[in-house]
Amino acid sequence: MNEPNLLVQEYNRHDTICAIATFPAKAALGVIKVSGKNALGIVAKIFRPKVKKNIRRARNFSLHYGWIVEKSKIKNKKLKIKGQETRVVDEVLVSVMRKPFSYTREDVVEISSHGGGLVLNKILDLLVSSGGRAALPGEFTYRAFIHGRIDLLQAQSIVDIVEAKTDFGLAAAVAQLKGANSRKIEKLKTHIEDFLVKVEAILEFPEEHIPVDSSQITRDLNMIKETVTGLRKDAERAERVRGDIHCVICGRANVGKSTLFNRLLRQERVIVTRIPGTTRDVIQEDIYIRGVALKMYDTAGILEPKDLIDKKAIEKSKDKIKDADLILLVIDQSQKIGKDDRFLLDMMKGKNAIVVLNKADLPQKIDMNILKKLHISMVKMSALKDQGLSTLEDTIAGWVKRKGLTKDEDLLFLAQWQRTLLTQIEEEIAKALEFHRNGYPLDHIHFSLQEVFRKIGVCTGQSLNDEVMNKLFTQFCIGK
């Protein structure tokens, strides 16, 4: 889909561009987008409306029914016939969005045809032969950015809307598209700008003897630093929402891990037997719990390995536990805590874990006092009898909420290069604070804050940079 070697310098803003905007496969509908100053004229060459009209003069936000037609020359020397033959390609609806009231702020026409690779590519070929140019990846969004309809943060949010895996991630990306985070960063820029004006006044007009309030400079710099740190944390949380939360089911052999895995998946994904050590590899599936995307892993039971296969399976299980965002430690509550249980409970120290007391349909033999001392969330259930599953799912969703992964209004979706810039901005402000604490001249602080101001402009796109443009817009597919 994407062309990683594409450079934005290859975008020609004067061309009228066109592209298939939907996946070119068997489907009820397909859409072809056209944008540019000649969009209406190019479409008029291949569109025949049912009601006779000039599509070039169509009203803004109007819809027109008709046919896409292909003209071909007829020449018969014997009969001495010359002319044109018109052939219908497809029945379509054409929508017109005039500048500046469109995605790109140019004249835009969208052709809704029947789905299917052949018909969509045929219409695209006709548009190109009529004066259009096939769009490059991200070129429509680039035009929206360059014409001031969106900034780089909003452009990034479009990528995240397309790639959203959860309700939370989608809601946060939409909030960013609406400008929520752009306003936060604009407010930060204003604070820095006000601070720079004060410092510049002191530096430029020494004869005025403008008083320097050292404590106020410290407060201003700390306030700016706290704001940037908050944005960085919002970006880190957004990165977790953007991806999946890795949740590992672990426990000693034969405690019901695979039965629980199957219950969470709502299908018999893993073979379950009474023989200990049936699972001899890490099995992974993607699931959704209360709108949260999880990569769920069923691991081999932690026990003394009988052979090399067992040993490798247990090593993989331990690796997954080490890297997990959340661990579901399954313990058989119908038995006393054994040495393998104690080993795993020790592994949970400092980790995000929920203890699943399985086999609640059987008499309890476990000593609850041992578990209560650990201060770990616990859920009683019977995976076999399908009892308590809803409570476990609520507990998982509650953990996600407590971790702040569901506050969509505070998430800041950034690309890797933007997150790197934010870290550099934070370091630069820390440097300015250090200069001030050590009694350096104001010139040093002024230079650091100017660098911060410049980098924030790069992050939002107010300071244009070809490398930055390339990194962002090559994430898009053709037609976006």
Coil, helix or strand for 318?
Answer: helix
Residue 141: closest CA among 31, 8, 9? 8
Judge whether residue 43 has pLDDT over 70: yes
User: Would you mind telling me the total number of residues written for the chain in this entry?
Assistant: 480
CA 445 – CA 251 distance, rounded (Å): 55
Judge whether residue 475 has pLDDT over 90: no
Coil, helix or strand for 61?
Answer: coil
As separate numbers, helices (DSSP H) first and strands (DSSP E) second, the chain gives 15, 13
Average pLDDT, the chain: 82
pLDDT in tens, 371-425: 887 778 899 999 989 899 999 999 988 887 776 555 555 677 777 778 888 899 9
Judge whether residue 55 has pLDDT over 80: yes
pLDDT at residue 105, as a whole number? 96
Helix axes 389-402 and 257-265, enclosed angle (nearest 10): 80
More confident residue, 309 or 15: 15
**Residues in a beta bridge with 334:** none
With contact defined as beta carbons under 8 Å apart, do 199 and 445 qualify?
Answer: yes
Range of weakest confidence among 27-41, 134-148, 391-405: 391-405
pLDDT in tens, 299-343: 876 555 455 555 665 677 677 788 888 999 999 999 998 888 888
- Token pair belonging to 327: 């661990």
Burial of 60 (0-12, 13-18, 19+ CB in 10 A): exposed
CA 400 – CA 394 distance, rounded (Å): 10
Judge whether residue 144 has pLDDT over 70: yes
More confident residue, 232 or 131: 131
Judge whether residue 243 has pLDDT over 50: yes
CA 388 – CA 394 distance, rounded (Å): 10
pLDDT in tens, 146-157: 899 998 888 888
pLDDT at residue 133, as a whole number? 95
Judge whether residue 257 has pLDDT over 80: yes
Range of weakest confidence among 347-356, 383-392, 470-479: 470-479
Query: Where would I find the H helices in 81-210?
Result: 117-129, 139-146, 152-163, 167-177, 180-204
pLDDT at residue 253, as a whole number? 83
Q: Which amino acid is at 60?
A: N
- Token pair belonging to 464: 């244009």
Judge whether residue 78 has pLDDT over 70: no
**Span 100-123, average pLDDT:** 95
pLDDT in tens, 436-465: 899 888 888 889 888 988 888 888 777 665
pLDDT at residue 86, as a whole number? 84
More confident residue, 469 or 40: 40
**Span 105-129, average pLDDT:** 95
pLDDT at residue 160, as a whole number? 80
pLDDT at residue 120, as a whole number? 94
pLDDT at residue 272, as a whole number? 47
**Span 18-27, average pLDDT:** 88
pLDDT at residue 340, as a whole number? 84
pLDDT at residue 8, as a whole number? 59
Range of weakest confidence among 84-93, 388-397, 467-476: 467-476
pLDDT at residue 2, as a whole number? 39
pLDDT at residue 273, as a whole number? 46
Where does the pLDDT of residue 3 fall: very low under 50, low under 70, confident under 90, or very high at 90 and above? very low
Backbone angles phi, psi at 94, to 5 degrees: -115, 125
**Span 187-202, average pLDDT:** 86
Residue 303: closest CA among 348, 349, 267, 255? 255
Half-sphere exposure of 391 (CA within 13 A, CB side): 15
